[in-house]
C-alpha cells in the first residue's frame, strides 16, 4: 500500500513517504528526518530504515511509525502515541504503540486500506493528496480519501418509479414561442489561485515557478519552466541571491516551497503548527496563511483566493 497515492491531514508529526517505506516521526525528532528521508527517497525498505531509526537506541526515540510492503505482505512497527488501522478483505486490525516498552509489530497479507493517526489536525485543515515526499501530518489514509465509495442509496420502490400525469393548462391558449437566443457557454467554477503577499503589499500569482531572493537567477531552473523572478531587499545580505522556489502543487489552489540551498536558511510557519526550518531541496506543501521567513526582516505570506 505504501507505493499508492495517499491522503493526509496536516499536523505536527513529520511524514516521510517513498516507494517502499512510510515513516512518521514526532515533532521532537526533526534532527532524524534528513537521514530517514535520504533512505526512503532512495527506495530503501523496512530493514534498512528500521536500522537507522534504532541505531542510537530507543531511550531518546519517544515514538515512530514504520510501514513497508513487500511481496504482498505489509509490515507495521509502532512505538509511542500512534495508531494504525489496516483493512483486509477478511478483517480490520488496529495496532497501537502506547504503553509498549519497545515497539509493537504486526504483519498482514492482502492489505487493502491503511489509516495512521498520530495527533490532532489543525481545526481548519482538510484532506490533501500526496504521492512520495516529506510533509507534516496528523493523519494518513491509503488509498486517497476521494477513492472511498459513498454509501449506497436505497432502491426506489415501484410506486416511486411511476411518472406523474401531465399537467393540463388552466385555459386554452397558444403556447408562446420562445425567442431564439445565442448559445451560451457553461458557467464553470473559478479555480482557486495561490499568491504570495510580499512585504511591499504586492501580490505575485503562483501560476508557474516563482523564484524569490536578493537577485534571483532564472538559470537555476530549466528553460521550460520560465519562472517568475521576485526580488526582495536584503540590506544585510542575509537572503541568498536565489533563496527559495514556490511552484504550483498537483491540485488546484495548492503550492509547494523548496529552499534552494540558501546560506542562512528559510523558516516556514504553517497555521497551527510550530515553525520549521526548511531542508534544502525538500519540497514542502503550503497551507493557506503560511508565512515564509527569509531573514533580514523579509516575510512572505501565502494567500489563496
> What does the pLDDT look like over 95-146, one tens digit per residue?
998 877 788 999 999 999 999 999 776 666 688 888 888 888 999 999 876 5
- In this predicted structure, the answer to whether residue 156 has a pLDDT above a threshold of 90 is no
Note the pLDDT tens digit of each residue in 194-227: 999 999 899 999 999 999 999 999 888 876 778 9
| pLDDT band per the 50, 70, 90 thresholds, residue 57 | confident
Q: Between residues 153 and 288, which one has the greater pLDDT?
A: 288
pLDDT > 90 fraction of the chain, expressed in percent and rounded: 48
- Grid cell digits, residue 243: 533563496
Domain parsing of the chain, residue ranges: 6-147, 194-304
Note the pLDDT tens digit of each residue in 233-276: 999 999 999 999 999 988 778 899 999 999 999 999 988 788 89
Specify burial of residue 259 (Cβ count, 10 A radius: 0-12, 13-18, 19+): buried
Tell me the CA end-to-end span of the chain in Å, nearest whole number.
34
- Grid cell digits, residue 182: 445565442
Alpha-carbon span 211 to 60, nearest angstrom? 39
- In this predicted structure, the answer to whether residue 170 has a pLDDT above a threshold of 80 is no
Alpha-carbon span 35 to 14, nearest angstrom? 13
**What is the reported pTM?**
0.52
The order of strands in the sheet holding 284-285 is 228-231, 210-213, 244-248, 255-259, 284-285
Is 244:260 a contact under the CB 8 Å cutoff? Answer: yes
Cite the beta strand spans of 20-171 per DSSP E. 22-25, 64-70, 73-79, 83-87, 92-96, 104-109, 113-117, 128-130, 133-142
Q: What is the CATH number of domain 194-304?
A: 2.60.200.20
pLDDT (0 to 100) of residue 259:
93
Amino acid at each position: 500500500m505504501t507505493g499508492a497515492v495517499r491522503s493526509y491531514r496536516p499536523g505536527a508529526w513529520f511524514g516521510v513517504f517513498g516507494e517502499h517505506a512510510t515513516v512518521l516521526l514526532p515533532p521532537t525528532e526533526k534532527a532524524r528526518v534528513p537521514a530517514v528521508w535520504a533512505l526512503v527517497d532512495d527506495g530503501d525498505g523496512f530493514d534498512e530504515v528500521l536500522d537507522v531509526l534504532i541505531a542510537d537506541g530507543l531511550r531518546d526515540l519517544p515514538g515512530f511509525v514504520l510501514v513497508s510492503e513487500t511481496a504482498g505482505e505489509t509490515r507495521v512497527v509502532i512505538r509511542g502515541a500512534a495508531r494504525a488501522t489496516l483493512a483486509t478483505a477478511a478483517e480490520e486490525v488496529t495496532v497501537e504503540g502506547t504503553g509498549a516498552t519497545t515497539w509493537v509489530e504486526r504483519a498482514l497479507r492482502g492489505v487493502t486500506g491503511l489509516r495512521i493517526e498520530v495527533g490532532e489536525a489543525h481545526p481548519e485543515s482538510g484532506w490533501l493528496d500526496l504521492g512520495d515526499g516529506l510533509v507534516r501530518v496528523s493523519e494518513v489514509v491509503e488509498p486517497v480519501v476521494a477513492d472511498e465509495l459513498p454509501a449506497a442509496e436505497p432502491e426506489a420502490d415501484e410506486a416511486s418509479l411511476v411518472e406523474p400525469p401531465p399537467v393540463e393548462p388552466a385555459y386554452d391558449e397558444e403556447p408562446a414561442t420562445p425567442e431564439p437566443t445565442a448559445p451560451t457557454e457553461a458557467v464553470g467554477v473559478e479555480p482557486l489561485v495561490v499568491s504570495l503577499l510580499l512585504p511591499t503589499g504586492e501580490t505575485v500569482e503562483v501560476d508557474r515557478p516563482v523564484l524569490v531572493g536578493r537577485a534571483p537567477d532564472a538559470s537555476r531552473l530549466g528553460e521550460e519552466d520560465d519562472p517568475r523572478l521576485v526580488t526582495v531587499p536584503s540590506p544585510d545580505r542575509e537572503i541568498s541571491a536565489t533563496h527559495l522556489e514556490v511552484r504550483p502543487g498537483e491540485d488546484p489552489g495548492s503550492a509547494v516551497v523548496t529552499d534552494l540551498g540558501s546560506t542562512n536558511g528559510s523558516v516556514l510557519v504553517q497555521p497551527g503548527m510550530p515553525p520549521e526550518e526548511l531542508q534544502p531541496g525538500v519540497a514542502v506543501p503550503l497551507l493557506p496563511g503560511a508565512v515564509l521567513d527569509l531573514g533580514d526582516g523579509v516575510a512572505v505570506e501565502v494567500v489563496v483566493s
